[in-house]
Structure 1
Amino acid sequence: MNTENLRVFINLAETLNYSKTAAQIYISQPAVSQNIAKMERELGFQLFTRTRRSVNLTKSGSNFYQGIKPMLNSYYKTVQESQRLSNGNDVDFTLGYSGTPYEVKMVPKIVRAFKRQHSKFNIYLANFDHYDLKTQLQSGECDVILTMPDIIAGISNVKYIDLYEGSYQVHFFKNSGYKPKLDKLDLTDLKNYRLIMSDSRWCPPSQDDLQKSIQKANKVLNLAFANNISVANTMTHANLGVGIWADFVTDPEDHELINVDLKYAIHPHYGIAKLNNNNITPASIFCKWIRNEFINLQLYDS
């Protein structure tokens, strides 16, 4: 089995159409069938079920596709990067992020600081929500993503590197009339405010757990929901309610918010993730750099 066999398989897994795959790869339809039959003999299991009207992946075929596509993408990317290095050319690198207010402010600073030491890197940025970021990392479209550990939990081929342990905070617009009397607020103190919560279909699992704990601690709450952190941040600045999110989500240069720590046993973490391999790649170089420089460069102002 070689990379050409895998390329044919991946294309067919995505088109589910032998004639389309043949046309896209510029081989005959019988050659596609022979390629798949050869792979199935070598693997010892069926990749596709085929009728006159449809082609579908088997469960084993689907599992094989999910695992092999990022590996093949990584292979091609590594070959290209190695060729560029051999020729003294620049190396491409893609950093994925979800676009929190912190990241919007700090990612450009991170990139500039990294480029000062690694001028050969062509850096690209990709912005997706938390869950799309995982897919982009697994497929090899992103080399590294900024994330939280609970978002990528359970993914076997991904390595997480922790950069910061934070705390959950309550965020008030400074002209809302709120004058903090305490350094920290209890969950039960939140019943006095209109709370802006994140939609559970979007927010990280740890954030969702916190919101459920707040609702459990208070029988009656005045709630509003935002479908992403940008909307929640905008609503808070518009004085439409009180925001609740981790301290590393807030723009460190935002002086329009009053941020008060929340008494909550679980501390959120922030870091980076890459595909788990031992090769020296642009991803591993960036991860080593940011792990060493994150605090020294004061990329997060506590």
Structure 2
Amino acid sequence: MTIVQIKYFITVVKCASYTKAAEQLFISQPALSRHIKNMEEELNIQLFLRTNNGIRLTPAGSSLYVGMLDLYENYIEMVNKAEKIQKGLDGTLKIGILDQTNVSDFMPMIYQYFQENYPNVDLWFQEGSFNYLVSELYSGRLDLIYTLKFEIERKEGIMYQYVSHSKDHIVMSRFHPLAKKDQVTLDDVKDETFVLISEEDNPESAPLILALCKEHGFVPQVHYAKSLAEQILWIAVGMGVSILDSRTYLKLNPDVKFFEIDSNWDPSLVIAWNQNNYNPLLSVFIKKMNEILGTEEEDIHGAGLEKDRP
């Protein structure tokens, strides 16, 4: 039995006439009669009784009608919902943002756009560490993440696009003696304690910073923070210095000084997604983000699919 046969059966019941039902369905009456007869034979149930006043349901047919009407209406509802989701009009988009990353210059405008144009779309936001975001992206529990390029660029199956091109900075409390200088270099902080994020949370960051220090001829004393949030807290309270990008919320803290430096990696903010994620809302979201930021010409990188849009 097919969904078409169920539709024909329901229409005949509602019209109480093969002739009227056939007209409504734009098929011939004999063809409609054959469909109903095939249903009866397949189910081994007599659905209709012919009377002098037309047709009426048998008790078995009446019982079947109630169930099939619910089934058909649920089917239509599910198809309509799926079509809306496919068009990016309905559904949920789960977005992860790296701990302490400032997206306030563009995210409220994207959110407002979806509220006004796609009221049935639920944008769901979550903050997390480097490892957490990547893990959730692979598992499908997050659709998009905002993280740093050097963290994501070598991850298998992950696509990404630049959001903003950032520079790295030596960061310290404004109460640190070196904070009074106009410019601070790595050579200036060789005797300082470096506050770095643990390799358990981010296996990329600390090794890159330590390698850069080694190039400058020193190995710093290090305190390892368990998370990016903890690292930023330790810097803010003056426990040491570190190297951070300019997208961190710490950049907005007037009691923390940032001194730009050249690094061997790219700390730019990117938006990333799993190449096997087919949520149609991905392209809608990224398109609007690009319009707001003026990044429509940015290439798509990763997973061997350069320049392919999501």
**What TM-score does the superposition give when structure 1 sets the normalisation length?**
0.60
Taking the aligned partners of 2:292 and 2:180, their CA distance within structure 1 comes to 34
Q: How does 1:178-257 map to 2 (within 5 A)?
A: 178-183=178-183, 185-203=184-202, 205=204, 208-219=207-218, 221-257=220-256
5+ long unaligned stretches in structure 2: 1-78, 296-310
Q: Which amino acid aligns with 1:129?
A: S
Q: Give the number of equivalent residue pairs.
A: 217
What's the CA shift for 1:250? 3.5
Q: 2:100, 2:80 → 1: CA distance?
A: 32
Is residue 199–residue 205 contact of structure 2 (8 Å, CA) maintained in 1? no
Matches within 5 A, 1:65-104: 82-85=82-85, 90-102=90-102
**Partners in 1 of 2:174 and 2:281 — Cα distance?**
42
Question: CA deviation digits over 1:55-87, x for unaligned, max 9?
Answer: xxxxxxxxxxxxxxxxxxxxxxxx896344589
CA drift of 1:198 comes to: 1.7
Distance in 2 (CA, whole Å) between partners of 1:191 and 1:261 is 16
SS at match of 2:142: coil
Structure 1: where are the runs of 5+ without partners?
Answer: 1-78, 297-302
Shift of 1:264: 2.7
Asked whether the equivalents of residues 110 and 288 of structure 2 are also in contact (C-alpha less than 8 Å), the reply is no
CA 1:111/1:226 → structure 2, altered by over 3 Å: closer, same or farther? farther
What residue in structure 2 maps to residue 259 of structure 1? 258
8 Å CA contact 1:98, 1:128 repeated in 2: yes
Q: Alpha carbons of 1:171 and 1:165: their partners in 2 closer, same or farther (altered >3 Å)? A: same
Contact 1:172–1:242 at 8 Å: present in 2 too? yes
Contact kept in structure 1, 2:210 and 2:220, CA below 8 Å: no
Instruction: Call closer, same or farther: CA 1:170–1:111 in 2, change over 3 Å.
Output: same
User: What is the aligned-residue identity percentage?
Assistant: 15
Cα offset, 1:253, TM superposition: 2.9
1:205-238 Cα shifts (integer Å, max 9, x gaps): 2553123221453435332221211111111111
C-alpha distance 187-110 of structure 1, shift in aligned 2 (>3 A)? farther
1:123, CA displacement in angstroms? 1.0
Distance in 2 (CA, whole Å) between partners of 1:262 and 1:150 is 16
Residues 225 and 119 from structure 1, CA distance in 2 versus in 1: closer, same or farther, beyond 3 angstroms? same
Aligned amino acid, residue 170 of structure 2? V
Query: SS where residue 269 of structure 2 aligns?
Result: strand
Per-residue deviation at 1:93? 1.1
Q: Counterpart of 1:151 in 2: which secondary structure?
A: helix
Partner of 1:174: 174
Find the aligned partners of 2:219 and 2:127 in 1 and give their Cα distance: 36
Please give the root-mean-square deviation of Cα atoms over the aligned residues, in Å: 3.4
